Structure 1
Amino acid sequence: MLRAPRRLPCPPRRAASTGPGPGRRLLLSTPIFYANGPPHIGHLYSALLADALHRYRGLRGAGPGRLSTGTDEHGLKIQQAAAAAGTSPPELCERVSGLFRQALTQAAVSFTDFIRTSEPRHQRAVCHFWGALRDSGALYKGCYEGWYCTPEECFLPESQLAERRDAQGRPCKVSLETGHQVHWTKEENYMFRLSAFRGPLRDWLRDNPQAIAPEPFYRRVLRWLEEEDLPDLSVSRERSRLPWGIPVPSDPTQTIYVWVDALVNYLSVVGYPEGHGQWWPAARHVVGKDILKFHAVYWPALLMAAGLAPPERILVHSHWTVRGQKMSKSLGNVVDPAASMDHYTVDGFRYFLLRQGVPERDCDYYEEKVVKLVNSELADALGGLLNRSTAPSINPSNTYPSFSEACFPKLSDHREANGPGRACAEDYELVASVASLPLQVAAYFEGFQIYKALERVALCVRQSNGFFQRHKPWKLDRTDPGEQRWLDTVLHVTLECLRVYGTLLQPVTPHAAHRLLSRLAVGPEERGLSALTFLPRYHGKPSPFEGRQLGPDTGLLFPRLEMPRRTRADTKELRSPTNGCCK
């Protein structure tokens, strides 16, 4: 029996600054994905959110950054899945972990670290972390009994259970949140003094209102801490029942609880216990709402007990449903990321998930929505504008045309566009919108609202198409010097808008953005946010692009998508009023 300490260690009250900070290190992480089955779009969505944040930070030149992901390979679910598949847990994990690595690589997720909890470096970190918990007095051994949920790998209090009937009609208890059945379990385990950390956790959150985002999830965690029980946490399992896991140091009869094991991965990737000080606690975890309590309550408390500060931020997202239903193998509606990327292209599927996914609420997936969105916003609006403004019939010299200040004079108030130039009020509104776009996008990325950043980009792309259509450059008389100057100015403004969009879309559609910027002859060193000065000639400053030869024409920026073939029954289902939309 471990003796209780007189006082548990008090952690630092405030985590590292959440501000951008030039040159500051930052770890971004996805959850590590449970290796009991292949990836689906929920996994991919987590990874794409983290990847977009990581790529955007690179555009800002904000300092060294890492993006970690990987697979969680221990626990009862893995043990059971391996037995059901007629294989061993290591063989199952090797195969499934490879599927996740392959899917994330195909999706162009720019991870720097892929951690597997079966790796020696991770097991060493977990054992050291356990020792820190033990030495702080945060652990004790006790007999624990309660309702255990195998799929969630945790005990649940009565307040989180409901009465249901199983497949045979017998009464049973299930998890209120997930619907998974629970079973009464009694065993002697090591316990973590979670109840002692209610006050420190509340102080941490109140001192750091940006610690959990979006804000509804922050409020949810505060409610848990203020209104619900916070019983001590069982952090080991009998090894006779669960041999597939990391043994408790100095007690081979016990296996470390899979969630304690898994959460330590965020330290393993930064070199814990020796090298983590350069990175921790400057970490931002991207997680699904179903694992919020593990990351926002258990993990910070464990860190505090081990003498470490909580992570800088926990960024939470909701789930994807498919035609209004939860994804499940039994329904046969699990969306395969690889097949989706093959059909809709990598950039198309990335754009759809990040454009339509709203972290605060669940969103619905169906094929028509993907095709309609990608065709309208990428193929038609963005790709069409690039192709029309660089077409040989419009721009036979294949150059970045000159800007005429006489045609488009700078005004102090765009609402008074009655001057001697040819630009109208809507043209000045476009210039103002695009000029403010980079700062708006920065604010939305920092606020974990990537979908709003893409909404703003899409709105500006529509404005740019309106500008191009309004002035009909294909009808201007090239033999008239005045008309030629105005034609060049219209093209210059259009290409400047496209350069901004291509730069800002790099974290979301990296391949298409690369092709767009290459077509505009924007060099690799000119693609960061520090070089993103929009329309300098409008402000009387030189433009490095004016007169530059455009890059080679690579054809369509984005091909229009076709609907996958469907049966008549599928089509009928698509028309059902139950097919909701997240927005």
Structure 2
Amino acid sequence: MKYFVTTPIFYVNAAPHLGHVYSAVLADAAARYAALRRGRDALLSTGTDEHGQKVRQAAAAAGLPPATLCQRVSLQFRRAFEAADVQYARYVRTTDPDHAHAVQHFWRLLDSRGYIQKGSYTGWYSVPDESFLTPSQVTEEVRDGKKVAISSESGHVVTWAEEENYVFPMSRMRDDLRHWVRNHLDVRPAKFGRLLESWLEADLPDLSVSRPVSRLDWGVPVPGDDQQVVYVWLDALVNYLTASGYPGQLERWPPDCQVIGKDILKFHGVYWPALLLAAGLAPPRLLLCHSHWTVDGVKMSKSLGNVVSADEALRTYTADGLRYFLLREGVPHSDGNFSRKKAANLLNAELADTLGNLLGRCAAAAVADLLLQTVASLPAAVGEAYDEFCFYRGLEAVQAALRSANQFVQLKEPWVLRKQPEREAELHSCLAVAMETLRVAGILLQPVVPSLAGRLLDKLGVRPEARGWRHAERPCPEGGQLGHGSAVLFQKLR
């Protein structure tokens, strides 16, 4: 059975940045780990969210038709994820005809089950969040000398709106939703699960699920009403169904894991399960909610000019380097901090020096016919961390083993031993232990840095069919010859 993991789909109002790549790499590492450890093929979906008022405004600011902007920026996201070695199976664009068909089918299903009601909606509205807010979610603040209403959750300015549209009765779903979240939904890290529980204790106002064409014409038309378009968040959430083949035969449902940023937890932990339950479909069972990235301790912002673009980061650090940094430093329960100095120091120390030096020392001696011992506890420790999506903990364990092996090689000095024939057995033992550490580390690093790990295992002469997780859990059964290729795994950053 395939392991179905999803990323959020990303707004095309701006080019991809560091945070977008983190979401995609986190999902990709989870998919690769499921394949490596459990033998499950992956169905990884990602894509772009191309409707709504934000996209319409971004297109106008760029002097482009919305469709042109969407095509251009969506291609940037696709190229960034491919450059980051993200192996997605499905890339969903909300402007795709099959997605529009899925959205309208889902709408008709909700309508047929009595969950779509025509009404009027009055309240505060945030364009950046594409969301109506309750009075308790709005506060006042003085900006540029003027008092403005803002969202207390996102900090975005809100405006008062009154309009005719369709609503989804959240109040009818409250009991079913609470039961699902409390008994069937796993939210990680746990702090975000507690936050979700607190939202369910409060009142759940009905959800506006359409917008009048007179205010917004860039979206999926509401079936049977050409004066309304489907609310962008309902449109966007259906992308996960589209990726699975909805409304036809579903390839896999529900997703095994949905990777999301903390700012969209409410949409995925409250509204999405409610909509699915109303439609008679199973909600996802696991939400992996990650925090954000700051740059030199400051929130990324176009106005501050400190946004780290995906292109820049990938050019500077390579796919392996950026993946390693994001998963080594990214701690899901709190915001990660990026700095160019920090990234260079970490990658130089751990990939170029600790990992690379150990391979270089062994490869320089040109002996690889004895692989005697294994790092016995490493697969279990790393597996436990990866199971919890705490890739940083697994990488810490791998690095600790590599540092110990480097210290062992430094103590034994095989470059000296190889000049002393009478100490040949000691030389072989030294190299066998060091290279077995590299073999096991290479297998365990495959979900995080697939290209680098592949080159390492190639250099060690590890056959492709001997790179599964189970092979790391037992000693290598036979000696081998060093493979071809450079012993330099990661070029030091200047």
Report the TM-score, using the length of structure 1 for normalisation: 0.83
1:315, CA displacement in angstroms? Answer: 0.6
1:38, CA displacement in angstroms? Answer: 0.3
- The partner residue of 2:438 within 466, 476, 498 is 498
Tell me the SS of whatever aligns to 1:296: helix
Tell me the SS of whatever aligns to 1:345: helix
Per the alignment, residue 523 of structure 1 pairs with 463
Residues 473-494 of structure 1 show CA distances to partners (whole Å, capped at 9, x for unaligned) of 233365555x211210111111
Residues 384-418 of structure 1 show CA distances to partners (whole Å, capped at 9, x for unaligned) of 00000111xx33xx433364xxxx9xxxxxxxxxx
Q: Does 1:172 align with 2:148?
A: yes
What letter corresponds to residue 30 of structure 2 in structure 1? L
Q: Does 1:89 align with 2:66?
A: yes
Residues 312-341 of structure 1 show CA distances to partners (whole Å, capped at 9, x for unaligned) of 211100000111111111000000121122
Percent identity, aligned pairs only, is 50
Per the alignment, residue 403 of structure 2 pairs with 462
- The partner residue of 1:222 within 162, 176, 197 is 197
What letter corresponds to residue 181 of structure 1 in structure 2? V
Query: Relative to 1, partners in 2 of residues 1:552 and 1:89: Cα closer, same or farther, differing over 3 Å?
Result: same
Query: Relative to 1, partners in 2 of residues 1:442 and 1:311: Cα closer, same or farther, differing over 3 Å?
Result: same
Per the alignment, residue 241 of structure 1 pairs with 215
CA RMSD of aligned residues (A): 1.5
What letter corresponds to residue 271 of structure 1 in structure 2? G
Alignment of 1:541-580 (within 5 A): 543-544=477-478, 546=479, 548-562=480-494
Q: Does 1:510 align with 2:487?
A: no
Per the alignment, residue 147 of structure 1 pairs with 124
Task: Report the count of equivalent residues.
Answer: 494
Query: Relative to 1, partners in 2 of residues 1:477 and 1:129: Cα closer, same or farther, differing over 3 Å?
Result: closer
Could you tell me how far apart the structure 1 residues matched to 2:20 and 2:194 are? 25
Per the alignment, residue 400 of structure 1 pairs with 369
Tell me the SS of whatever aligns to 1:230: coil
1:84, CA displacement in angstroms? Answer: 1.3
Residues 490-547 of structure 1 show CA distances to partners (whole Å, capped at 9, x for unaligned) of 11111111001111111111121111101100111111113224435xxxxxx23x1x
- The partner residue of 2:428 within 479, 488, 510 is 488
Could you tell me how far apart the structure 1 residues matched to 2:405 and 2:139 are? 54
Q: Which stretch of structure 1 is more off in the superposition, 337-346 or 103-112?
A: 337-346
Q: Does 1:436 align with 2:411?
A: no
Could you tell me how far apart the structure 2 residues matched to 1:166 and 1:363 are? 28
Contact 2:371–2:436 (Cα < 8 Å) also in 1: no
Q: Which has the larger radius of gyration?
A: 1
Per the alignment, residue 579 of structure 1 pairs with none
Could you tell me how far apart the structure 1 residues matched to 2:470 and 2:421 are? 38
Could you tell me how far apart the structure 2 residues matched to 1:205 and 1:441 are? 29
Per the alignment, residue 453 of structure 1 pairs with 394
Contact 1:38–1:99 (Cα < 8 Å) also in 2: yes
Q: Does 1:332 align with 2:305?
A: yes
In proportion to residue count, which structure has more helix? 2
Tell me the SS of whatever aligns to 2:229: strand
1:553, CA displacement in angstroms? Answer: 4.0
Could you tell me how far apart the structure 2 residues matched to 1:371 and 1:266 are? 36
1:205, CA displacement in angstroms? Answer: 2.0
Residues 456-475 of structure 1 show CA distances to partners (whole Å, capped at 9, x for unaligned) of 11111111112212222233
Could you tell me how far apart the structure 2 residues matched to 1:55 and 1:363 are? 23
1:285, CA displacement in angstroms? Answer: 0.8
Contact 1:400–1:495 (Cα < 8 Å) also in 2: no
Could you tell me how far apart the structure 1 residues matched to 2:453 and 2:369 are? 18
- The partner residue of 2:176 within 164, 181, 200 is 200
Report the TM-score, using the length of structure 2 for normalisation: 0.97
What letter corresponds to residue 106 of structure 1 in structure 2? A
What letter corresponds to residue 268 of structure 1 in structure 2? T
What letter corresponds to residue 438 of structure 1 in structure 2? P
What letter corresponds to residue 131 of structure 2 in structure 1? C
Tell me the SS of whatever aligns to 2:203: coil
Residues 188-231 of structure 1 show CA distances to partners (whole Å, capped at 9, x for unaligned) of 1111011222221221122136x2111111111011102x2211
1:236, CA displacement in angstroms? Answer: 0.5
Could you tell me how far apart the structure 1 residues matched to 2:400 and 2:487 are? 24
Contact 1:214–1:448 (Cα < 8 Å) also in 2: no
Could you tell me how far apart the structure 1 residues matched to 2:361 and 2:60 are? 59
- The partner residue of 1:232 within 202, 206, 230 is 206
Residues 281-333 of structure 1 show CA distances to partners (whole Å, capped at 9, x for unaligned) of 14311000000000010000000000001112111000001111111110000
Contact 2:170–2:206 (Cα < 8 Å) also in 1: yes
1:116, CA displacement in angstroms? Answer: 0.4
Could you tell me how far apart the structure 2 residues matched to 1:479 and 1:499 are? 27
Could you tell me how far apart the structure 2 residues matched to 1:400 and 1:262 are? 55
Q: Does 1:57 align with 2:66?
A: no
What letter corresponds to residue 93 of structure 2 in structure 1? R
What letter corresponds to residue 501 of structure 1 in structure 2? A
Could you tell me how far apart the structure 2 residues matched to 1:208 and 1:197 are? 16
Could you tell me how far apart the structure 2 residues matched to 1:181 and 1:125 are? 33
* Structure 1 gaps, min length 5: 1-23, 409-430, 537-542, 563-583
Residues 239-282 of structure 1 show CA distances to partners (whole Å, capped at 9, x for unaligned) of 11111001110111111000000000000011101211x41114
Alignment of 1:77-476 (within 5 A): 77-167=54-144, 169-208=145-184, 211-226=186-201, 228-276=202-250, 278-391=251-364, 394-395=365-366, 398-401=367-370, 403=372, 434-476=375-417
Could you tell me how far apart the structure 2 residues matched to 1:479 and 1:30 are? 56
What letter corresponds to residue 171 of structure 2 in structure 1? S
Could you tell me how far apart the structure 2 residues matched to 1:467 and 1:251 are? 73
Contact 2:444–2:472 (Cα < 8 Å) also in 1: no
